[in-house]
Structure 1
């Protein structure tokens, strides 16, 4: 736990850097800590029972090592997926309330709606206003074969109306 805490502590100091500088600093400061952590796990893997919680954790770390290290190569990739997990937390907590979604199509539709809403939030948009824009603009283009208009409706588009954007 101390090794993981040290990784997060150093990673936290890099949060204000540009992605390029963060990647460079990760190589200099975080990578040695990650290397030491995995070396320690490998060294101690046989000292714990494989079926114990610690043994399962060690096995998981070693099986996922390649993926757990991805953040070291790109300054835009977060060190963990806490933001993604946080964005779906409300849905997971409310899933008992979704008993009316009893078909595959209903589940797919629900997943699309939640994805759009959470993407809007992640891009500092007002979800209600963003949905209103999508539901107003997309029907205007139902006969179009050219879908270039969709670029202007993406959450990251500079052309989105001010009504969709949150004021800071």
Structure 2
């Protein structure tokens, strides 16, 4: 699939889901809660929205980093002293 086709598919498939997610984040953020972890996670999501949606704008970007992560985990297994592990 070309990069433009990927971008188009991502827009079709993910935009609605992300819109619902961001609505939920805004609604939940407006509620009063004592759960500090939830508040922290919601604030992080709001602050990173631009970056979390980057995959929608560029078909060259992978949606997941699992393939890269797997390569590094193989390299890092048993080598805890490496900075990137």
| TM-score relative to the length of structure 1 | 0.42
1:67 partnered with 2:80: no
Would you say how many aligned residue pairs link Structure 1 and Structure 2?
83
Quote the residue 1:81 is aligned against: 65
Whose Rg is larger?
1
Where structure 2 has 5 or more consecutive residues not aligned to the other structure, the ranges are: none
1, 16, 35: which one pairs with 2:19?
Answer: 35
1:49–1:78 CA distance, 2 compared to 1 (3 A): farther
Correspondence 1:1-150 to 2 at 5 A: 17-47=1-31, 48-49=33-34, 51-52=36-37, 54-96=38-80, 98=81
Alignment partners' CA distance in 1, 2:42 and 2:77 = 29
Q: Which has the higher contact order (CA 8 A, sep 6+)?
A: 2
Q: Which runs of 5+ in 1 are unaligned?
A: 1-16, 102-106, 112-168
Aligned equivalents of 2:50, 2:64: Cα separation in 1: 14
TM-score, normalised to structure 2's length? 0.73
RMSD in angstroms over aligned alpha carbons? 2.5
